[in-house]
């Protein structure tokens, strides 16, 4: 009876403590559901084929669930009996074997390793060092991490020794016991020690002394307990998991090639979290493996290393370890204080495996899981695929360019380089570039990967990485071959875009490499010896060489563009008709030919430098994405916002720039008025003042509108700067709170990269106002070209219509003349100015002698004699039949003036005067008969045939009242005519004022009357059948005026020239054969 109350008390206490069990169970189920959801989501995101998750609490397994497939091809699901490679989580079991051997007195952790492996003698800075077993256990041996890159594939009996012998000759990275540096081969050495001490293979000893006693019956070293249950290993290939069988590394089994199942790992975790050890297995052995080495500084993550465990000072302690093999990964962690443990096994090498494990443990303990970070292996696969996508078309493009170059060479468009020095220099330069590129690629894993090798890359990283590297090498080789072909076989004015694009990319990549290398130095302590300095130099070289070529090319292309665009515009203007040209705004033409072409030329620099900045930003984006995808998304969002704001501002500013461009046209008009009307302005203070006021008003409007347009971009620029500062503030203050896994080094890297990115971003955004100006100028140039082209098409259409309507079925135009056409009548000229120059030199000399003979004796050189003219040819006849010309309507739809209908005939050997009041139509008639205006009605015939404007223009020599005297005698071959020119200059009394040298006048700084006489010299030299003089004598002194009317014109008439003179000199009307009077556009012929 006395025991009953005690039993009831015990029952009551049991019930009391069990009251929350239903709620706890409900909470556990909710957490497990959340854990399953998280595990499946992260597994899918990382493309892990098979995954197993184990949770242990208080020494008991509370969750063991597998997801996906152990073998995708066979559709074999992963389950609790699937066998995985544990990777580096093998080390804890190896360490347990070492602790047992020490407890048994078969070895001591304080012993130097040479006591067991005498030939393993390693040195630091040339001095032999003694490495203890404890230092191997705690990764303080000084063996570098990079030793994993030289692990040889091994199998069979000698595998362990072969693996350890790979250390011979490799210097230690630090003095043993001085610092922590993880090196997986440390445990391979311990495995060889175990074999030496026990006389058994590592696998056999582990099975008999550790695995079987602990009840880990499905766990084994090297060979799976049941090969049929072994999961197929995978690694990335074109963004998808691909089966891969890596080389065997049996010698490294103690470090990473113990195999186990989720069930056995759960049993292992149970022992670690409080389950009772089997009989005969001392708890001290296990406890010894959990003692961290605090004699050295912890790792960068803040962990001290025990024997196979990373120990974090978090609460009562946090033990964890990741395992990573080429095709498997694992994560095991436990918290002794909470007696909780988690294990995750996967058949793909993925950083997400550890992320799942950390998140599962946090969720199980009711804490907030860390934000999932990037998976380096998956990201490497994605990056390699992106590189392949870029490089494949790049290689094809280069091959196409090589083919085009070879075709040009075969067609003779390219000629061999004739200078041996340049030929050899080009070859040596490309060979040097190839050597630098090959060395940079070869040493890249060792420098960037902390001493790793390409063999490591091939085995461990996704298969696409090595493929992308080979393709990159091929692209570099192809480009160097292409550039060598261009150097060996140059072509004049070669405009291949491949070279500038390639070098812009190289320059941008070099610019981005600079920031990457600098950022990498912040986390290294061996910057002078690691090879980073060489890559920094390479990055600078890439940037400088690329920029030098690009800037040199920009100078050439910019000036070539300005030249070509101006010549294109000038050529089109020269081909347009005079009437259209006359109506064009002068300021518009000058602004388009000068400022607009200059503005557009700057677009070449924007394209190339913009391309360099874009490449730099893309590389920075990739770098940010590798560190943290959220940083990448944030930077992209900020730049997208900035670009959107700039676009909106640009659209609004574009209208203002258009208006400023119109004002600029007027400004050029003011400049023309200032230069041409300077005399008038100088004579009137009030005129100068009002002109200045009008000009000032225009310039002020231009200033205000342009300032307003640019201020829009200034405001946006300030917003952009502020946004970038806010981004940096977010990174510094918010990221650590949001992304728990982010450390200070990563924060500094983010800030550094963001600050570096501000340069390219600001350059790109600052170019937007210039782009807006370029758009305006380009629109102006295009509109001018279109306007001229439309006018030419209109002329062609009208000409075709006239040809069809002609009674003869054709117009006798020079442009339409063919080989079968009849020779031109006397006085008609062919289209080519050369034909004009091919007139008989006898006729020219005769005309000159008649002129000289009629002048005063002082004008005629004694060595010349008169030659009679050839009067045998039929006289020229120019006929106007019902010719009408109407000036275009003004802005209000009114036609200001019209000429015609005019019926009139002008003949060779005749002098005709045209007279009339101001505005009577004299000059308009002159422009009609010279072909400068096209009649709206009627026809103009030359020797009985309908003449085109081109033929009329080629038949006339004209000196208009507003004539322009060119500095050069364009279209006239002066070679061999020096005596003739000298005689004309004496005749015109200009021999002491000007001379002709190399086809140009020595000066044109003459009076208006002298310029007109010089223009008459040009008329003499052209020797065309019709001469038109518009008020030529108005600026001459009375003596020379009389000479003009009474001697020069009669002599031209005597030569058979048709002379048409517009004049008001009624005192000399008697010297004309006909006097025609114009009145309000109508012709009145005076007898």
Tell whether 403 is covered by a domain. Answer: yes
Q: Quick one: pLDDT at residue 468?
A: 92
Q: Quick one: pLDDT at residue 186?
A: 97
Whether the CB-CB separation of 179 and 134 falls below 8 Å is answered with: no
Q: pLDDT class for 519, splitting at 50, 70, 90?
A: confident
Residue-wise pLDDT tens digits, 89-120:
999 999 999 999 999 999 999 999 999 999 99
Domain C-terminal end among 337, 355, 373: 373
Burial class of residue 80 in the structure, from the number of CB atoms within 10 Å of its CB (0-12 exposed, 13-18 middle, 19+ buried): middle
Determine the Cα angle at 955 with ends 952 and 957, to 5°. 110
Name the least confident of 422-431, 964-973, 1061-1070. Answer: 964-973
Residue 1037 sits at φ, ψ, to 5 deg, of -75, 160
Alpha-helical segments (H) within 72-129: 90-103
Residue-wise pLDDT tens digits, 432-468:
999 999 998 888 888 876 678 888 889 999 999 999 9
Q: Quick one: pLDDT at residue 797?
A: 62
CB atoms within 10 A of CB 171: 13
> Same domain for 289 and 429?
no
Q: Quick one: pLDDT at residue 762?
A: 72
> Same domain for 862 and 994?
yes
> What is the Cα–Cα distance from 450 to 526, expressed in whole angstroms?
10
3-state helix, strand, coil in the chain (%, to 5): 55, 15, 30
Q: Quick one: pLDDT at residue 421?
A: 87
Q: Quick one: pLDDT at residue 841?
A: 37
Residue-wise pLDDT tens digits, 385-402:
988 988 899 899 999 999
> What is the Cα–Cα distance from 331 to 343, expressed in whole angstroms?
6
Q: Quick one: pLDDT at residue 22?
A: 45
Tokens 């196979």 correspond to what residue? 308
> Same domain for 422 and 283?
no
- DSSP conformational letter for 147: G
> Same domain for 1020 and 1064?
yes
DSSP string across 49-69: SEEEEEEEETTEEEEEEEEEE
Tokens found for residue 193 = 């020690």
Name the least confident of 50-59, 415-424, 965-974. Answer: 965-974
Alpha-helical segments (H) within 576-628: 578-583, 586-591, 597-627
Q: pLDDT class for 678, splitting at 50, 70, 90?
A: low
Burial class of residue 400 in the structure, from the number of CB atoms within 10 Å of its CB (0-12 exposed, 13-18 middle, 19+ buried): exposed
Q: pLDDT class for 774, splitting at 50, 70, 90?
A: low
Of the chain, the percentage scoring pLDDT greater than 90 comes to 33
Q: Quick one: pLDDT at residue 742?
A: 60
What average pLDDT does the chain have? 79
Q: Of 940, 965, 958, nearest to 1062 (Cα)?
A: 958
> What is the Cα–Cα distance from 144 to 753, expressed in whole angstroms?
29
Q: Quick one: pLDDT at residue 1055?
A: 84
Tokens found for residue 830 = 């062919």
pLDDT at 289 over 50: yes
Tell whether 592 is covered by a domain. Answer: no
pLDDT at 68 over 90: yes
Tell whether 726 is covered by a domain. Answer: no
pLDDT at 681 over 70: no
Whether the CB-CB separation of 944 and 863 falls below 8 Å is answered with: no
> What is the Cα–Cα distance from 375 to 352, expressed in whole angstroms?
6
Q: Of 491, 794, 750, nearest to 624 (Cα)?
A: 750
Q: Compute the radius of gyration of the chain from its Cα atoms.
A: 48
Q: Look at the chain and report how many structural domains it folds into.
A: 3
Domain C-terminal end among 472, 494, 516: 494
- Residue 784 or residue 294, greater confidence: 294
> What is the Cα–Cα distance from 169 to 506, expressed in whole angstroms?
38
Tokens found for residue 248 = 């065997």
Q: Of 561, 397, 398, 405, nearest to 485 (Cα)?
A: 405
Q: pLDDT class for 428, splitting at 50, 70, 90?
A: very high
Residue-wise pLDDT tens digits, 858-912:
333 333 222 233 444 567 888 888 888 887 776 566 666 788 788 888 888 899 8
Q: Of 1029, 1049, 1073, 1063, nearest to 915 (Cα)?
A: 1063
Whether the CB-CB separation of 511 and 543 falls below 8 Å is answered with: yes
For residue 545, say if its preceding peptide bond is cis, omega within 30 degrees of 0.
no
Whether the CB-CB separation of 319 and 290 falls below 8 Å is answered with: yes
> What is the Cα–Cα distance from 359 to 371, expressed in whole angstroms?
8
The most distant pair of C-alpha atoms in the chain lies apart, rounded to whole Å, by: 170
Tell whether 640 is covered by a domain. Answer: no
pLDDT at 514 over 70: yes
Tell whether 743 is covered by a domain. Answer: no
- Residue 236 or residue 1087, greater confidence: 236
What's the average model confidence in pLDDT over 902-931? Answer: 85
> What is the Cα–Cα distance from 515 to 751, expressed in whole angstroms?
12
Packed helices 90-103 and 185-198: angle between N→C axes, nearest 10 degrees: 40
DSSP string across 545-585: HHHHHHHHHHHHHHHHHHHHHHHHHHHHHHHS-HHHHHHS-
Q: Quick one: pLDDT at residue 1052?
A: 85
Of the chain, the percentage scoring pLDDT greater than 70 comes to 72
Coil, helix or strand at residue 883: strand
What's the average model confidence in pLDDT over 721-745? Answer: 67
673: left (phi over 0), alpha (psi -120 to 50) or beta: alpha
> Same domain for 324 and 447?
no
Tokens found for residue 1019 = 């008329």
Tokens 């892990």 correspond to what residue? 48
Q: Quick one: pLDDT at residue 830?
A: 30
Tell whether 649 is covered by a domain. Answer: no
For residue 800, say if its preceding peptide bond is cis, omega within 30 degrees of 0.
no
Tokens 């311990």 correspond to what residue? 190
Q: Rounded to two decimals, what is the model's pTM?
A: 0.65
Whether the CB-CB separation of 151 and 132 falls below 8 Å is answered with: no
What's the average model confidence in pLDDT over 785-792? Answer: 66
> What is the Cα–Cα distance from 299 to 970, expressed in whole angstroms?
84
DSSP string across 66-81: EEEEEETTTTEEP-TT
Q: Of 577, 422, 400, nearest to 488 (Cα)?
A: 422
What's the full length of the chain, in residues?
A: 1087
Domain C-terminal end among 326, 346, 373: 373
pLDDT at 770 over 90: no
Q: Of 375, 352, 350, nearest to 42 (Cα)?
A: 352
Tell whether 987 is covered by a domain. Answer: yes
Coil, helix or strand at residue 945: strand
> What is the Cα–Cα distance from 565 to 563, expressed in whole angstroms?
6
Residue-wise pLDDT tens digits, 987-1016:
888 888 888 888 888 888 888 888 888 888
> Same domain for 183 and 165?
yes
> Same domain for 395 and 489?
yes
| CATH number of 307's domain | 3.40.710.10
CB atoms within 10 A of CB 868: 9
> Same domain for 192 and 278?
yes
> Same domain for 274 and 198?
yes
Residue 636 C-alpha from the chain's centroid: 18
Do strands 122-124 and 234-237 pair parallel, antiparallel, or not at all (unpaired)? Answer: unpaired
- DSSP conformational letter for 207: I
Residue-wise pLDDT tens digits, 537-564:
888 888 888 877 777 777 677 667 666 6
Residue 289 sits at φ, ψ, to 5 deg, of -70, -15
| CATH number of 1055's domain | 3.40.50.300
Q: Quick one: pLDDT at residue 973?
A: 82
Name the least confident of 456-460, 737-741, 936-940, 961-965. Answer: 737-741
Q: Residue 8 belongs to what H/E stretch?
A: helix 3-18
- Residue 718 or residue 307, greater confidence: 307
Tokens found for residue 25 = 């169970």
> Same domain for 403 and 341?
no
pLDDT at 835 over 50: no
Enclosing domain of residue 1054 = 846-872+907-932+953-1086
pLDDT at 855 over 50: no
What's the average model confidence in pLDDT over 276-288? Answer: 92
> Same domain for 95 and 241?
yes
What's the average model confidence in pLDDT over 178-202? Answer: 96
Q: Quick one: pLDDT at residue 664?
A: 58
Q: Quick one: pLDDT at residue 27?
A: 66
Q: Of 759, 752, 771, nearest to 710 (Cα)?
A: 771
CB atoms within 10 A of CB 493: 6
Listed in order, strand segments (DSSP E) in 1038-1081 are 1058-1062, 1074-1079
Burial class of residue 686 in the structure, from the number of CB atoms within 10 Å of its CB (0-12 exposed, 13-18 middle, 19+ buried): exposed
pLDDT at 237 over 80: yes
Q: Residue 882 belongs to what H/E stretch?
A: strand 877-886
Do strands 122-124 and 340-346 pair parallel, antiparallel, or not at all (unpaired)? Answer: unpaired
Alpha-helical segments (H) within 873-977: 922-929, 949-955
Query: Distance from first CA to last CA of the chain, Å, rounded?
Result: 165
> Same domain for 383 and 317?
no
Tell whether 515 is covered by a domain. Answer: no
Burial class of residue 8 in the structure, from the number of CB atoms within 10 Å of its CB (0-12 exposed, 13-18 middle, 19+ buried): exposed
Q: Quick one: pLDDT at residue 574?
A: 66
Residue-wise pLDDT tens digits, 149-171:
889 999 998 999 999 999 999 99
Name the least confident of 137-151, 347-361, 843-857. Answer: 843-857
Alpha-helical segments (H) within 874-931: 922-929
> What is the Cα–Cα distance from 864 to 771, expressed in whole angstroms?
66
- Residue 1080 or residue 1059, greater confidence: 1059
> What is the Cα–Cα distance from 477 to 541, expressed in whole angstroms?
18
């Amino acid at each position: 009876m006395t025991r009953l109350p005690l039993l009831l008390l015990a029952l009551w206490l049991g019930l009391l403590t069990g009251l929350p069990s239903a709620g706890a169970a409900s909470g556990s189920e909710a957490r497990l559901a959340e854990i399953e959801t998280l595990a499946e989501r992260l597994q899918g995101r990382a493309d892990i084929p098979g995954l197993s998750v184990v949770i242990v609490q208080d020494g008991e397994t509370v969750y063991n669930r597998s997801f996906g497939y152990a073998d995708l091809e066979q559709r074999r699901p992963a389950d609790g009996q699937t066998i995985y490679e544990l990777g580096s989580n093998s080390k804890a079991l190896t360490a347990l074997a070492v602790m047992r051997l020490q407890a048994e007195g078969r070895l001591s952790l304080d012993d130097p390793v040479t006591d067991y492996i005498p030939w393993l003698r390693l040195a630091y800075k040339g001095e032999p060092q003694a490495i203890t077993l404890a230092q191997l256990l705690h990764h303080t041996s000084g063996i570098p991490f990079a030793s994993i890159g030289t692990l040889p594939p091994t199998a069979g009996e000698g595998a362990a020794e072969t693996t350890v012998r790979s250390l011979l000759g490799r210097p230690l990275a630090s003095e043993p016991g001085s610092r922590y540096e993880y090196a997986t081969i440390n445990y391979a050495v311990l495995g060889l020690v175990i074999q030496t001490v026990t006389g058994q293979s590592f696998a056999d000893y582990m099975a008999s002394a550790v695995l079987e006693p602990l009840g880990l019956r499905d766990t084994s070293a090297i060979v799976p307990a049941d090969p049929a249950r072994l999961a197929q290993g995978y690694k990335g290939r074109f963004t998808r998991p691909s089966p891969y069988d890596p080389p065997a590394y049996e010698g490294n089994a103690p470090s990473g090639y113990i195999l186990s199942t989720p069930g056995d790992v759960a049993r292992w975790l149970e022992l670690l979290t409080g389950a009772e050890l089997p009989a005969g297995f001392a708890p001290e052995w296990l406890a010894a493996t959990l003692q961290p080495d605090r004699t050295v500084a912890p790792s960068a993550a803040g962990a001290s290393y025990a024997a196979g465990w990373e120990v974090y000072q978090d609460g009562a302690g946090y033990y964890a370890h990741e395992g990573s093999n080429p095709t498997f990964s694992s994560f095991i962690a436990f918290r002794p204080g909470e007696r909780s443990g988690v294990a995750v096994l996967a058949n793909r090498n993925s950083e997400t495996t550890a992320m799942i494990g950390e998140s599962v443990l946090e969720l199980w303990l009711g804490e907030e899981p860390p934000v999932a970070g990037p998976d380096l292996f998956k990201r490497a696969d994605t990056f390699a695929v992106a590189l392949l996508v870029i490089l494949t078309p790049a290689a094809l493009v280069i091959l196409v360019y090589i083919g085009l170059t070879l075709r040009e060479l075969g067609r003779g468009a390219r000629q061999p380089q004739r200078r041996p020095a340049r030929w050899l220099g080009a070859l040596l330069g490309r060979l040097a570039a190839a050597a630098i590129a090959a060395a940079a690629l070869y040493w890249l894993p060792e420098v960037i990967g902390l001493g790793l090798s390409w063999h490591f890359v091939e085995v461990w990283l996704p298969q696409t990485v090595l493929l992308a590297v080979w393709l990159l090498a091929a692209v570099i080789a192809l480009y160097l071959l292409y550039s060598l072909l261009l150097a060996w076989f140059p072509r004049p004015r070669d405009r291949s875009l491949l070279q500038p694009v390639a070098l812009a990319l190289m320059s941008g990549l070099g610019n981005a490499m600079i920031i990457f290398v600098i950022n990498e130095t912040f986390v290294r302590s061996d910057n002078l010896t690691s090879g980073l300095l060489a890559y920094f130099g390479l990055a600078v070289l890439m940037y400088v060489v690329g920029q030098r070529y690009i800037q040199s090319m920009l100078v050439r292309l910019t000036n070539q563009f300005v030249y070509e665009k101006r010549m294109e515009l000038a050529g089109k203007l020269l081909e347009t008709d005079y009437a259209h040209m006359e109506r064009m705004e002068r300021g518009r033409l000058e602004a388009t030919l000068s400022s607009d072409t200059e503005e557009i030329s700057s677009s070449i620099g924007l394209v190339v430098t913009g391309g360099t900045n874009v490449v730099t930003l893309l590389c920075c984006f990739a770098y940010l994405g590798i560190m943290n995808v959220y940083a990448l998304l944030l930077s992209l969002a900020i730049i997208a916002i900035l670009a959107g704001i700039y676009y909106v501002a640009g659209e609004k500013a574009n209208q203002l720039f258009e208006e400023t461009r119109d004002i600029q046209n007027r400004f050029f008009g003011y400049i023309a008025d200032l230069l041409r009307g300077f005399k008038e302005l100088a004579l009137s203070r009030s005129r100068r003042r009002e002109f200045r006021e009008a000009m000032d008003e225009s310039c002020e409007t231009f200033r205000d509108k342009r300032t307003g347009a640019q201020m829009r971009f200034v405001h946006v620029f300030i917003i952009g700067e502020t946004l970038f500062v806010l981004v940096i503030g977010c990174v510094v203050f918010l990221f650590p709170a949001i992304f728990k896994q982010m450390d200070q080094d990563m924060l500094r890297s983010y800030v550094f990269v963001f600050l570096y990115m501000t340069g390219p971003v600001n350059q790109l955004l600052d170019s937007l106002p210039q782009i807006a100006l370029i758009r305006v100028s380009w629109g102006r140039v295009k509109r001018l070209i279109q306007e001229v082209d439309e006018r030419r098409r209109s002329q062609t259409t009208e000409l075709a219509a006239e040809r069809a309507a002609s009674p003869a079925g054709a117009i006798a135009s020079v442009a339409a003349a063919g080989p079968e056409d009849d020779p031109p009548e006397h006085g008609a000229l062919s289209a080519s100015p050369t034909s004009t120059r091919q007139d008989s030199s006898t006729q020219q000399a005769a005309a000159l002698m008649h002129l000289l003979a009629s002048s005063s004796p002082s004008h005629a050189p004694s060595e010349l004699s008169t030659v009679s003219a050839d009067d045998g040819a039929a006289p020229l006849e120019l006929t106007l039949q019902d010719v009408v010309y109407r000036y275009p309507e003004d802005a209000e739809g009114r036609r200001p003036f019209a000429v015609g209908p005019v019926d009139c005939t002008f003949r060779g050997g005749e002098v005709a005067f045209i007279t009339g009041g101001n505005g009577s139509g004299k000059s308009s008639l002159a422009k009609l008969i010279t072909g400068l205006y096209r009649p709206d009605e009627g026809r103009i015939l030359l020797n009985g045939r309908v003449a085109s404007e081109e033929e009329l223009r080629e038949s006339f020599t004209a000196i208009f009242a507003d004539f322009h005297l060119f500095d050069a005698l364009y279209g006239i071959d002066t070679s061999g005519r020096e005596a003739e020119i000298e005689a004309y200059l004496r005749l015109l009394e200009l021999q002491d004022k000007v001379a002709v040298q190399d086809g140009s006048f020595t000066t044109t700084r003459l009076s208006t009357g002298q310029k007109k006489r010089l223009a008459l010299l040009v008329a003499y030299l052209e020797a065309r059948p019709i001469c038109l003089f518009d008020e030529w004598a108005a600026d001459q002194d009375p003596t020379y005026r009389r000479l003009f009317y009474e001697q020069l014109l009669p002599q031209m008439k005597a030569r058979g020239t048709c002379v048409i003179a517009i004049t008001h000199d009624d005192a000399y009307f008697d010297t004309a054969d006909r006097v025609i009077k114009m009145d309000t556009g109508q012709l009145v012929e005076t007898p």
